[in-house]
Structure 1
Amino acid sequence: MEKNLNNPAHLFQPLTIKSVTLRNRIGVSPMCQYSSADGVATDWHLVHLGARAVGGAGLVIAEATAVAPEGRITPGCAGLWAEKHIEPLARINRFLKAHGAVAGIQIAHAGRKASADLPWQGDAHLADNAGGWPTIAPSALAFGDELSKVPRAMTEADIARVKNDFAATARRALTATNEWLCLLYT
């Protein structure tokens, strides 16, 4: 029997994928907020993400969250590369769950897009001596436009380290009670 996809009622029905059940099929995608301090989620994140849970979303995914300090897009990006990042994120996730949403997270490494200024301050790459940091990517190609810093091509050791960073960050995400995980490498 064919479903009528023009009827939006199915959006409000629960959806179970493996062991995770969403109260509905409305999900909030990850949106960079550039409001972290040293990668630590703040009250800004609690309000931003919490409002989506209170508003009825079944899945709320936290922004691109760096697996390493040098994997951030900007100095204001969220991170989960250290133990100090777990509890602030867990606090937000407890709020999301208390309001019926499944907590998700996008863990990321910005690659050649890393070391950029905040969007409202120009969004260009930061010089290493002006608050920026060296960048790495699969190849030594700049992102383009204002993001013109040429990254260092990754070595096999870099690839192994970033792979391990993703694995360690995924474990921290589980400790912070995330039930949904997205991976991103720019």
Structure 2
Amino acid sequence: MKSLFISLSISLFLLAACTLTTMFTTPPIEQNITETQWISATIESSESTFTVVTQSELPGADEHGTVVYVSPSSTDTTGFISVWFDLKKLLGEEVGINDSLHFSIDVLQTRVNQATVTMNIIEEDTETVISTKLLTKNEWETFEATYTLSEDPDNLSKFLLGIVASDPATLDFYIDDLKISIQFSSGGVS
């Protein structure tokens, strides 16, 4: 009787431990990316250029301070205006296959009543739209999306996050406050 009680107690303890392990996951880790870091990891496309703007009359200038202005590289530009961030440079070797990345960035357009932009990921030569946002003129919008890595970034020569004008394609826009949170698939830092 005593051994049955001990055996039952151990079984219940193990069952509870397994249940707790599967119920709780490691909370996402937010990368502390400074403005200088994300600006230095910015890559211009052939169709666009970016400028760091420190003093401006933009809506919300008191909250946003220094922002990046993304614009066509010339008056002949007809392609999609975009800005890209080198995620390998920003994340280093901390992430791996099946880890989830949550991106957040503030975007402002001041040209048309409504415009559409997309948030895209490039892994090697494959570009994927991970979110689409309708922007209202003169309003900062927080653009968010989550992406699960299908490949280990160490094996990629190109791993980029982009904000791309969609409609109109030649839309110029402002960006600020890039944030990235990581949910590790292995339950901790790999």
Using structure 1 for the length normalisation, give the TM-score.
Answer: 0.24
**TM-score normalized by the length of structure 2:** 0.23
Greater per-residue strand proportion: 2
Higher helix share: 1
Instruction: Between the two structures, name the one with larger relative contact order (CA 8 Å, sep ≥ 6).
Output: 2
Which structure has the greater CA radius of gyration?
2
